[in-house]
Amino acid sequence: QVQLVESGGGLVQAGGSLRLSCAASGRAFNNYGMGWFRQAPGKEREFVAAIKWSGGLTNYADSVKGRFTVSRDNAKNAVYLQMNSLKPEDTAVYYCAAAWARFTAGAHTYDYWGQGTQVTVSS
């Protein structure tokens, strides 16, 4: 069992930056691939970024590539999403998720989800 708690969301102007954190509790965190997803009002949940359990591989949605960076610290059971050059279309609830021994962009493949943190980007 893994519990995930996101933090770091808030209101920021376009062009600004935010850093989201996801704290994980439970065992064997370093065996989980971690992902970030987001859901805007009236839209489906979409993939943002993923990082392999070792941290050696990352994957990004085209819409955030070059602006967002995913990282993890297995010693702290934490994963991060650094978001730069934010745009109004980045406004959404952001979720972190854990997938046992998988490095994947598919939301249905993740085993555990956090409760989400709101990111609002004003124009």
Percent of the chain with pLDDT over 90: 92
pLDDT band per the 50, 70, 90 thresholds, residue 36? very high
Backbone angles phi, psi at 108, to 5 degrees: -70, -15
- What SS3 state is found at 29? helix
pLDDT of residue 1: 85
> Could you write out the three-class secondary structure of 19-88?
EEEEEEECCCHHHEEEEEEEECCCCCCEEEEEECCCCCCEEECCCCCCCEEEEEECCCCEEEEEECCCCH
pLDDT of residue 73: 95
pLDDT band per the 50, 70, 90 thresholds, residue 9? very high
Q: Mind listing the pLDDT tens digit for each residue in 73-102?
A: 999 999 999 999 999 999 999 999 999 999
d(CA 46, CA 81): 15
pLDDT band per the 50, 70, 90 thresholds, residue 47? very high
Determine the straight-line distance between the first and last CA of the chain, rounded to whole angstroms: 40
Contact 121, 13 (CB under 8 A): yes
